[in-house]
């Protein structure tokens, strides 16, 4: 028997065994991960969580059998599929949404951007009532955040404050689409165009949302996404940064991959065809391109196992978004009669949100406090979260940081003192949503 024949038979046996393993993985999922019927008051109503299928387990096991533990075939497929879903040309998989934001802001400091680059002391406009990792990259890159207030009940940037916020040092704007509700992209995009500013859209909570019929993420120069288990799709830990710009994609890729100048994938040599024919900086001619660094970068890549799960999750994205919208609508309808006590959320004009959560504000004149309401819900095993950091300038981490404030930030303080949110994720069926509605009525004395 020839060596070729032996190798062929071995491959056939391995493929057959692989298929058996994958089928068993799907069966295992069915036996061990079924969701039991809801029992009110005895089972938790989570504020967020992953919704996993047999296909997710199959892909995860499939990737693990490759033993290729860094980025590989699944990563390539995921990046292409995710870019298409977002309506953008380029998407890069990273290890978290926070890393995506770090890359997005860091990319604006690249020397490749010449006179448009962000330098130390330049300003970036953002909101005070946000998530820390939308703001932290501004500080980490030596820039100065300029904080503006939010609108209630959309919880997005008050765009009427933008012209007051701009200065000769302003270089960029970074806003998140809060809880999946798009900010006023028409006003913000026009403002950025008028002043020649970069726009970063933090879409970590808003995958699938639209503004004026267009997907969020397609209005800015760079968009960021998170795949943490709470988000619209999950890879466990993970995120993505996306753009339509080829030059920005190259900078983002360099920063993600140690800052190197080469774009060859891990484990592959000379796909750039420049490995030993490049001269940059003060390096000798022919220095190995794999070890030439054009940016001060990081290693923020994700693994092929994460990408494999992301691919199967992406197949269910529309289903997940529909479920979130259905749950949001049920809560909005079921709580309408409590609007004298609670401020219920409102979509931004001209927007079609992809809801991440259902924000609720307890009116200052209400007969109970936010503390009483969230602790009452907690006793009923109903999960809640505050609206991230509230007014971030009240947080200990930001005491003494260089910044500028426009206005009083009184609504950011209101968010800090009166607002919380409850879940709408696809793992919540109608029985759980009805229990939340009933509990809120009881706690509000209705």
Whether residues 268 and 374 share a domain: the answer is no
Q: Are residues 337 and 299 in the same domain?
A: no
Nearest alpha-carbon partner for 223 in 91, 361, 346, 45: 91
Do both 211 and 292 map to the same domain?
Answer: yes
Q: What is the pLDDT of residues 103-148, one digit of tens each?
A: 999 999 999 999 999 999 999 999 999 999 999 999 999 999 999 9
Q: Specify if 398 maps to a domain.
A: yes
- pLDDT number for residue 45: 98
Mean predicted lDDT score pLDDT of the chain: 95
- Whether 51 is in a domain gets the answer no
Q: What is the pLDDT of residue 282?
A: 86
> Structural domain tally of the chain?
2
The confidence band for 263, taking pLDDT boundaries of 50, 70 and 90, is confident
Mean pLDDT on 59-79 = 95
Residues 246, 343, single domain; the answer is no
The answer to whether residue 17 is domain-embedded is no
Do both 191 and 239 map to the same domain?
A: yes
Using DSSP bridges, classify how beta strands 210-211 and 351-352 pair: parallel, antiparallel or unpaired.
antiparallel
Whether residue 373 contacts residue 382, with contact meaning beta carbons closer than 8 Å, is answered with no
Its domain, for residue 253, covers 65-306
Residues 257 and 348 in one domain: no
Asked whether residue 301 falls in the same domain as residue 321, the answer is no
d(CA 142, CA 138): 7
For residue 7, tell me if it sits in a domain.
no
Last residue of a domain, one of 259, 283, 306: 306
In CATH, what number is assigned to the domain containing residue 421? Answer: 3.90.1150.10
Residue 231 is a catalytic residue: yes
Q: Which of 29, 177, 231, 289 is catalytic?
A: 231
Verify that 190 and 330 share a domain, yes or no: no
pLDDT above 90 coverage of the chain, percent: 89
Q: In CATH, what number is assigned to the domain containing residue 108? A: 3.40.640.10
- 83 and 194 together in one domain: yes
Rounded Cα distance between 230 and 324, Å, is 12
pLDDT band at 437 (very low <50, low <70, confident <90, very high): very high
Does residue 209 lie in a domain region?
yes
Q: What's this model's pTM, rounded to 2 decimal places?
A: 0.95
Over residues 2-28, the mean pLDDT reads 85
**Least confident interval from 71-75, 342-346, 434-438:** 71-75
* 88 pLDDT more than 60: yes
Residue 258 and residue 121 share a domain: yes
In a domain, 15, yes or no: no
Backbone angles phi, psi at 148, to 5 degrees: -120, 170
Residues 260 and 120 in one domain: yes
Q: Which residue has the higher pLDDT, 184 or 5?
A: 184
Are 238 and 365 part of one and the same domain? no
* Final residue belonging to a domain, choices 306, 329, 349: 306
Does residue 3 carry a pLDDT above 70? no
Residue 44 lies in a domain: no
State which of 278, 306, 334 marks the end of a domain: 306
State mean pLDDT over 79-84: 98
Separation CA 414–CA 212 (nearest Å): 29
Q: Is residue 12 part of a domain?
A: no
Tens of pLDDT, residue by residue over 41-57, are: 999 999 999 999 999 99
């Amino acid at each position: 028997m020839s060596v070729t024949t032996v190798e062929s038979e071995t491959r056939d046996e391995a493929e057959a065994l692989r298929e058996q393993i994958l089928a068993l993985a799907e069966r295992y999922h069915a036996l061990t991960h079924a969701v039991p019927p809801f029992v009110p008051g005895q089972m938790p109503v989570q504020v967020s969580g992953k919704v996993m299928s047999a296909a997710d387990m199959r892909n995860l096991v499939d990737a693990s059998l490759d033993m290729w533990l860094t980025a590989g075939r699944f990563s390539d497929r995921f990046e292409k599929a995710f870019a298409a879903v977002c309506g953008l040309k380029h998407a890069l998989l990273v290890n978290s949404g926070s890393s995506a934001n770090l890359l997005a802001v860091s990319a604006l400091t690249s020397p490749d951007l010449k006179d448009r680059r962000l330098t130390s002391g330049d300003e970036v406009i953002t909101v005070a009532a946000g998530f820390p990792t939308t703001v932290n990259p501004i500080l980490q890159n030596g820039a100065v955040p300029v904080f503006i207030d939010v609108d209630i009940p959309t919880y997005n940037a008050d765009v009427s404050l933008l012209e007051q916020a701009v200065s000769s040092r302003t270089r960029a704007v970074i806003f998140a689409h809060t809880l999946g509700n798009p900010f006023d992209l028409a006003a913000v995009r026009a403002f950025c165009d008028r002043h020649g500013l970069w726009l970063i859209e933090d879409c970590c909570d808003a995958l699938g949302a639209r503004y004026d019929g267009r997907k969020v993420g397609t209005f800015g120069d760079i968009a960021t996404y998170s795949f943490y288990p709470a988000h619209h799709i999950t890879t466990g830990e993970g995120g993505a940064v996306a753009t339509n710009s080829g030059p920005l994609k190259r900078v983002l890729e360099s920063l993600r991959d140690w800052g190197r100048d080469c774009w060859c994938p891990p484990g592959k040599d000379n796909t750039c065809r420049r490995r030993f024919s490049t001269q940059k900086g003060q390096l000798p001619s022919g220095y190995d391109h794999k070890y030439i660094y054009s940016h001060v970068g990081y290693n923020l890549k994700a693994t092929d196992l994460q990408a494999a799960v992301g691919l199967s999750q992406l197949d269910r994205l529309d289903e997940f978004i529909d479920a979130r919208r259905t749950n949001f609508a049920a809560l909005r309808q079921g709580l309408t009669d409590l609007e004298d006590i609670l401020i219920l959320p409102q979509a931004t004009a001209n927007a079609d949100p992809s809801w991440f959560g259902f924000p609720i504000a307890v009116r200052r004149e209400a007969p109970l406090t936010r503390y009483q309401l969230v602790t009452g819900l907690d006793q009923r095993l109903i999960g809640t979260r505050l609206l991230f950091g509230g007014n971030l300038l009240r947080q200990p981490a930001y005491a003494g940081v260089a910044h500028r404030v426009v206005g009083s930030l009184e609504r950011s303080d209101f968010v800090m003192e009166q607002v919380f949110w409850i879940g709408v994720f696809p793992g919540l069926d109608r029985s759980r949503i009805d229990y939340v509605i009933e509990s809120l009525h009881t706690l509000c004395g209705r």
